[in-house]
Amino acid sequence: MNERSRWRNFPNGLIAGLASNLGLLLLTASVPATLAQTARLDVTEVAKASGANPTIGPDGVVRIGWSREDVAVRISGWALKPFAGLGSWAAFKPFGQGALLMGDTVVFSDEVDPAMDAAFGHGLEVTALHNHFFFDEPPVFFMHIGGHGEPEKLAAGVKAVWDAIKAVRAKAPEPASGFPGGPALPGALDPTPIEAIFGHPAAVQDGVVKVTVGREGSMHGVTLGGSMGLTTWMAFSGSDERAAVCGDFIMRAVEVQPVLRELRRQGIHPVALHNHMMGEAPPYYFAHFWGEGPAPDLARRLKAALDVQGQVP
């Protein structure tokens, strides 16, 4: 009996039953994806927690926004309207039993620390800190945030970030032009205690004491190290009594949040967070920073951030 004859003699009812069951299996397999596509967040809860008026798109994404109309910005002499790039926003997308958050926040220099502290204090992540313009007066920066969890808690975190920024401007309508503190005191830097704290030798040039810690990675199958820019470094200027430190932490993705949190806990100012390369393995991110105070104290505070980074699996 050939195959055509075999199927011709097969009971029609059984064939229909098999087809029906197959269709049910296919439908069942597609249910999770369908539910994920049609899931909706409670807009009312997001509005209540954020204090903003959200919108919801056809894809179920809920967005809130805030235009920075409180500070006038000029770029190369042009007055920049908020709609041209001075808008803070946060977007919430259904994710599991909660939501996924992404957002971008307009910050001026003296708003970064309070905004970042508020984000960390409410369980959010800081995923980038950089500029979007050149020749802007006052200088404008953008702090990207993220997170996942209960939508109302995420929305409350965004509100806390924006409220922290508003509190800074309520105290001083114009952005500050410098960090609090004062100029360097006369004197010189002794590299010995700095080297002892970090456990690494320091290079000294023009009165600047610089400690560099290298890491390794690869790109296009080629091994890369500190000589190619894969380094954490700290450069101390001034005197032992009153110094300034600037530098850069190199981090894997899982190290970014612990390092940033510890830098802020230690009173160090993160001033940028971004990548330096593309296609490297593992992917590395870089946090630039600034700090002021007695040189050995600054070294100890930065060593604390290095120690936290070293504890990340």
Q: In terms of residue numbers, what domain contains 78?
A: 43-171
- Boundary of a domain, candidates 107, 141, 171: 171
Q: Provide the pLDDT for residue 187.
A: 87
The answer to whether residues 252 and 158 belong to one domain is no
- Boundary of a domain, candidates 136, 171, 206: 171
Per-residue pLDDT of the chain (313 residues; tens, 9 = 90+): 554 444 444 444 443 443 444 443 333 344 344 334 446 899 999 999 999 999 999 999 999 999 999 999 999 999 999 999 999 999 999 999 999 999 999 999 999 999 999 999 999 999 999 999 999 999 999 999 999 999 999 999 999 999 999 999 999 999 999 998 777 778 899 999 999 999 999 999 999 999 999 999 999 999 999 999 999 999 999 999 999 999 999 999 999 999 999 999 999 999 999 999 999 999 999 999 999 999 999 999 999 999 999 999 9
Does some domain include residue 243? yes
The answer to whether residues 81 and 167 belong to one domain is yes
Q: Which of 279, 270, 229, 275 is nearest to 252 (CA)?
A: 275
The answer to whether residues 166 and 59 belong to one domain is yes
The Cα-based distances of 185 to 22, 122, 180, 181 in angstroms read 80, 38, 15, 11
Alpha-carbon distance of 145 to 133, in angstroms, equals 19
CB 126 within 8 A of CB 116: yes
The answer to whether residues 124 and 213 belong to one domain is no
Q: Which two tokens stand for residue 101?
A: 């958050």
- Boundary of a domain, candidates 138, 171, 204: 171
Structural domains counted in the chain = 2
Q: Is the pTM of this model over 0.95?
A: no
CB 114 within 8 A of CB 81: no
The Cα-based distances of 191 to 196, 198, 202, 221, 238 in angstroms read 9, 11, 7, 38, 12
The answer to whether residues 213 and 304 belong to one domain is yes
The answer to whether residues 201 and 274 belong to one domain is yes
Does some domain include residue 234? yes
Alpha-carbon distance of 248 to 265, in angstroms, equals 17
Does some domain include residue 35? no
Q: Which two tokens stand for residue 62?
A: 């809920």
Q: Provide the pLDDT for residue 220.
A: 94
The answer to whether residues 161 and 246 belong to one domain is no
The answer to whether residues 156 and 49 belong to one domain is yes
Does some domain include residue 14? no
Alpha-carbon distance of 42 to 105, in angstroms, equals 23
The answer to whether residues 265 and 167 belong to one domain is no
Q: Which two tokens stand for residue 244?
A: 């300034």
Does some domain include residue 265? yes
**Placement of tokens 């299996």 in the chain:** 25
Q: Which two tokens stand for residue 257?
A: 């949040």
Q: What is the DSSP string of the chain?
A: --HHHHHHTS-HHHHHHHHHHHHHHHHHHHHHHHHHHH----HHHHHHHH-S--EE-TTS-EEEEEE--SS--EETTEEPPGGGT-EEEEEEEEETTEEEEEEEEEEEGGGHHHHHHHHHHTT-EEEEEEES-SSEES-EEEEEEEEEE-HHHHHHHHHHHHHHHHHHHHH-SSPPSS-SS-PPPSS---HHHHHHHHTS-EEEETTEEEEEEE--EEETTEEE-GGGT-EEEEEEEE-SSSEEEEEEEEEEHHHHHHHHHHHHHTT-EEEEEE-S-SSEES-EEEEEEEEEE-HHHHHHHHHHHHHHHHT--
Does some domain include residue 184? no
Report the CATH number that the domain containing residue 240 is assigned in CATH. Answer: 3.30.70
The answer to whether residues 289 and 219 belong to one domain is yes
The answer to whether residues 52 and 163 belong to one domain is yes
> Taking the chain, what is the end-to-end CA distance rounded to the nearest angstrom?
65
Alpha-carbon distance of 17 to 216, in angstroms, equals 61
Does some domain include residue 16? no
Q: Provide the pLDDT for residue 39.
A: 64
**Placement of tokens 């000589």 in the chain:** 227
Does some domain include residue 50? yes
The answer to whether residues 58 and 147 belong to one domain is yes
**Placement of tokens 């920073």 in the chain:** 289
